[in-house]
Amino acid sequence: MRSVFSSAVVVLILSGSYARADQVTLVAPGGMRCALDRMTPEFERKTGHTVKATVGAGGATHQQVVNGEPFDVPIVQPPYQDVIASGHVLAATETPLATVPMVMVVRKGSPKPDVSTPEAVRNPLLAAKAISYPDSAGGRGGAAGVSFDATQKKLGIFDQVQPKVTRTRGVSLMQLVTRGDIDFAVTFSSEVNDPGVEAVGQLPQEISTPTGLVGFISAHAKAPEAARALLSYLSSSGAATVYRACGMQPGRWTID
């Protein structure tokens, strides 16, 4: 009887464990892709929860959150006053996760332009025959594109650089670099994921403020406890190691 009772207890515990396992839905800009790809399997293994992530252009995913699309954990970049004002997130759960800087990317083995000062960055942009970076789509596209549009305007060379911008449907930014179609690309450090390229260096903060990434729990979360567990995991000391490995800086940022 004791053996039967013990077996029953084990079954009940396991049943309860599976009953508490939920699917957590998440939406995030592309700058989080590297970190999420690395952290999601471990989170799922440790908690039993599963993660369904939607990763896309920063402007578009930001608008999805403002519009109230049903994600348990939204991740957005500043400014996000509109996200809080929408009422679709729990403002008290605001959790800074990491910042991601913009870097210049060249084909491996190619000469590396100097990007140590604003003037140094200006020179290769003006000298290049062709460059590429994520499309900002007027603020509704990639957050990296929005950031680099602002950098060009700060340097006073936006109109001179735009005719050099190359984008090819179906060909990734890194492929444009490795194929030699462009002199260099500019994007988030976390998006440099091709062994055939090298990041030259981070753009100076005077002209390119690293983009912050902040998580919330949705006001409409279908799995609030699992959402809380995921947000806690994404801001943990273990997550910090992953962010650094992805070329990001974990933790809080300062917005100028």
CB distance 254 to 244 below 8 Å:
no
Distance CA 241, CA 226 (A): 22
Mean confidence (pLDDT) of the chain:
89
> pLDDT confidence of 141, banded at 50, 70, 90?
confident
Mean pLDDT of 21-43: 95
Q: In what order do the strands lie in the sheet with 131-132?
A: 131-132, 184-188, 102-107, 197-202
SS3 at position 244:
helix
Distance CA 26, CA 236 (A): 17
Topology of domain 2-99+211-250 in CATH is D-Maltodextrin-Binding Protein; domain 2 (3.40.190)
> pLDDT confidence of 252, banded at 50, 70, 90?
low
The domain spans of the chain are 2-99+211-250, 102-202
Mean pLDDT of 170-188: 95
Domains 2-99+211-250 and 102-202 share a fold: yes
Whole-number CA gyration radius for the chain? 21
CB distance 62 to 29 below 8 Å:
yes
CATH superfamily ID and name for 102-202 = Periplasmic binding protein-like II (3.40.190.10)
Q: Do strands 211-215 and 131-132 pair parallel, antiparallel, or not at all (unpaired)?
A: unpaired
Q: Sign (positive/negative) of CA torsion 54, 56, 58, 63?
A: negative
**Predicted TM-score (pTM) of this structure:** 0.83
Distance CA 157, CA 7 (A): 72
